[in-house]
Amino acid sequence: MPEVQYARSGELSIAYQVVGEGPVDLVFVPLFISPTFSWIHPVFAKFYERLASFSRLILFDKRGTGASDRPRTPPTLEVQMDDVRVVMDAVDSQQAALFGSGHGAQMCALFAATYPERTTALMLYSAWARFPGTEEEHRAIVRQTRDDFGRRDIADQTRREQYPSLWDDEPFLRAMDFIGRASASPGSAAEFIRTALEADITEVLPTIRAPTLLLYRRDLSPGAENMLAGRVARDREANARELAAAIPNARVVAVPGPDLSPFVGDEIPSEVERFLREPFVEPVSDRVLATVLFTDIAGSTERAAALGDRAWRDLLAAHRAQVRRELARFSGIELDTAGDGFFASFDGPARGISCAQAIVNTAAEQGLDVRAGLHTGECEREGGKLAGIAVHIGARISAVAQPGEVLVSRTVKDLVAGSGIEFDDRGDFELKGVPGDWQLYSVRPPLT
């Protein structure tokens, strides 16, 4: 078992391991099983060693799982993406191939779109853009995860679906009992499943520029009954082909074998190795997925006339100073200041929303009505600035926001699933100069 080390991600310590000395860095992200503890059984150890035979393999326990710290807030895709970045920094990995399974695949896809300059290739197994089913079905799966976590009969049913070739292997089943409990608690497992079910990366997929391999098992045993594993098994090929149609430069490979789990057998590591041995072009870094924020002061002309020039200048200077403090607190980048408004960017939409709410609230304390609009999309980087249609959409959303309101696109809402941020549907809008109708959502103020 390799040494466990720790990297700081905000207030949390993230446990990670590094194995192998291959020519390419490879980050593997499973659903929520702990790599740290799963080394105890040869099935998992052989899988990791096989990946490490052709790479420098980087493993880590997601926040809230295994040997990593337990967070006080839900494990959204955004903060999980942060954990990958800090672990890569800790091991001095400037670029890496990302290999994600299930919900881990969603996070890897988001990372590849947000940090194209750090992603050499993307491999997704048993992945989905948005998990199928209704909200009620999703809530039922989350309840089942929380209420039945650790029950032997439920665990056996799940393992029969995911590991049919090992179903009569008693040492493996005993090891899985330990690994499951060591990987997560009932609450943390339910939170991970909630994020996996609610997150929607559909709009992110066309912005991925890394060469992408989509894998699924073609020979799964029929009759899956567990709500989560069963749906993944039934929709595996359709999901893979849907993702491949949306991601530029993507291909689909069906892998033989009866086990839904990626850890069983050599077929999946062999496909990953074959893919990584192909020549790839350098990652494109002039286009990036970003969240843009626009703010402006409603009724500023009338307020300036009422206060007078000097008092207005002083108030505006105080407002700008406060906005810059909030941008620094939430890792936002100021891109432009025009009149009384700001244009800023974030590498995660939840941080952008939190910053916008803080700006609106502190402005209200100064007697100002600020409106804010946010959108997440692919932007062009030009000399430290961002440009493109996503920027125009963000500006137009801000323009239709009400005073004191934080208004966001559906893309932003879908990407902050599991964060606890709540929204009110404001309906469809026509945005000036932007084709089509846009569904917009007002961010509800947090409960105090």
Q: Residue 327: what pLDDT?
A: 96
Question: To 5 degrees, how large is the angle CA 57–CA 62–CA 66?
Answer: 95
Half-sphere exposure of 111 (CA within 13 A, CB side): 34
Evaluate whether 216 touches 254 at the Cβ level (below 8 Å). Answer: yes
CA dist 32 and 206 (Å) reads: 26
pTM for this model (two decimals):
0.89
Query: What 3-state DSSP class applies to 343?
Result: strand
Q: Residue 225: what pLDDT?
A: 44
Evaluate whether 97 touches 216 at the Cβ level (below 8 Å). Answer: no
CA dist 191 and 203 (Å) reads: 23
Q: Residue 224: what pLDDT?
A: 47
Distance from first CA to last CA of the chain, Å, rounded? 46
Residue with tokens 């432009």: 336
Q: Report CA torsion sign: 302, 308, 314, 315.
A: negative
How far are the Cα atoms of 25, 62, 73, 139, 396 from residue 76, in angstroms, in the given order?
24, 11, 9, 17, 27
- Domain edges within the chain: 5-276, 287-443
- CATH code of domain 287-443: 3.30.70.1230
- CATH code of domain 5-276: 3.40.50.1820
Q: How many CB atoms lie within 10 A of CB 21?
A: 10
Longest CA–CA separation in the chain, Å: 82
Q: Residue 281: what pLDDT?
A: 67
Q: Which residue type occupies 16?
A: Y
Token pair listed for 421: 């941020």
Kindly tell me the number of DSSP H helices and DSSP E strands found in the chain: 16, 16
Average pLDDT by stretches of 10, the chain with 448 residues: 93 96 96 91 96 98 92 87 95 97 93 94 94 84 83 69 83 88 86 87 94 92 56 81 94 92 94 91 76 93 87 92 95 89 94 96 93 95 87 95 96 90 94 91 82
CA dist 44 and 30 (Å) reads: 12
**What is the C-alpha radius of gyration for the chain, rounded to an integer number of angstroms?**
23
Q: Residue 34: what pLDDT?
A: 93
CA dist 32 and 189 (Å) reads: 8
Q: Residue 154: what pLDDT?
A: 65
